[in-house]
């Protein structure tokens, strides 16, 4: 995927396992912390090390979305779950903007100090060349 398609794309992407779809349709897409607190059963496809780090950084109360479907996370999941049926839940960036989604302009695991920005400010701070 080219830089311009990632930067100027119309969608955000959340990768999950097909077996999670019914509970998502019933209860909505929920952050990990909420799923664990409600003891919701779900098929976990995320790397355990990343899960732990997100929990320690208190990012487990957010549902992660990516700007393109070819992130390092997506590639790793697709490689390690070759026998599973994966799907993307896609939302429009316009919806994310209108609902004040938050943005981390750098990967939270890449540095200790990170800032969560409101949608528009966060979007303007992304280093698209580095991302791609």
Question: What is the separation of C-alpha 2 from the centre of its chain, rounded to a whole number of angstroms?
Answer: 19
Q: For the segment 90-128, what is each residue's pLDDT rounded down to a tens digit? A: 999 999 999 999 999 987 777 677 889 999 999 999 988
Could you give the 3-state DSSP secondary structure of residue 4? Answer: helix
- CB of 17 within 8 A of CB of 75? no
At residue 59's C-alpha, the angle toward residues 54 and 65, to 5°, is 95
Query: Which segments of the chain have a pLDDT < 70?
Result: 1-4, 111, 132
pTM equals 0.89
């Amino acid at each position: 995927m080219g830089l311009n398609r990632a930067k100027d794309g119309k969608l955000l992407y959340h990768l999950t396992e097909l077996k999670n779809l019914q509970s998502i349709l019933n209860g909505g897409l929920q952050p990990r912390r909420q799923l664990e607190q409600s003891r919701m059963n779900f098929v976990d496809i995320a790397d355990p090390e990343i899960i732990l780090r997100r929990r320690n950084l208190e990012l487990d109360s957010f549902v992660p979305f990516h700007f393109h479907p070819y992130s390092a996370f997506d590639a790793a999941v697709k490689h390690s779950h070759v026998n599973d049926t994966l799907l993307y839940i896609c939302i429009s960036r316009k919806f994310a903007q209108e609902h004040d989604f938050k943005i981390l302009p750098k990967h939270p695991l890449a540095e200790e100090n990170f800032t969560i920005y409101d949608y528009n400010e966060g979007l303007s701070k992304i280093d698209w060349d580095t991302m791609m």
